Amino acid sequence: MGSQRNILFIALAMVSFLLFQQWQSYKNPQAPATTQAQSNSTLPAPSFADDMADPAPQAGHSASIVKVKTDVLTLSIDAFGGDVVSAELNQYADEFGSDKNFVLLDKKGNEQYIAQSGLIGLKVSTLAALLVLSIKLHLTLSKWLKAKTNFAFL
């Protein structure tokens, strides 16, 4: 009985190691090595006069933000992964007498409050999961606001 347990433990350890190794190669793919050609020509000296005024460039997918507006929420959803990067409550002001909506989630500056979904691709299953995520967020916020204010808006 003891040898069977040891064999199963060794097999479990090997499968766990192989699974971890595949997960590491999936999460951190190896970048292809680039070779630089040697050139004898002289390059012009770079000017750094206006470089500091430009903001840092964002990733290439930053232009794929989808805005969703309902009667309760205004959401900004990043199509690259399905993260909710901005959420505002349309019926509640930021301060008393203000026209600005109350912001729940925001991605500005160093303080980034976003709802990450962990979605990877733009397949039908990803879009369906994104729809389910937005509905769950809506229902959760609706229940929370109803409990806080005794006002049903659904």
pLDDT at 127: 61
pTM: 0.39
Please give the Cα distance from 12 to 6 (Å, whole number): 10
pLDDT at 134: 73
* Sequence-separated (6 or more) residues with CB below 8 Å from residue 74: 67, 68, 86, 87, 88, 90, 101
Handedness of CA 33, 38, 44, 47 (dihedral sign): positive
Please give the Cα distance from 57 to 143 (Å, whole number): 39
Per residue of the chain (154 residues), what is the pLDDT tens digit? 678 889 998 999 999 999 998 888 888 877 776 666 565 556 565 555 544 444 444 544 445 888 888 888 898 888 777 788 888 888 888 888 888 888 888 877 777 777 777 666 555 555 666 666 677 777 777 766 666 665 555 4
Give the start-to-end residue ranges of the domains of the chain. 60-149
pLDDT at 151: 54
pLDDT at 10: 92
pLDDT at 35: 63
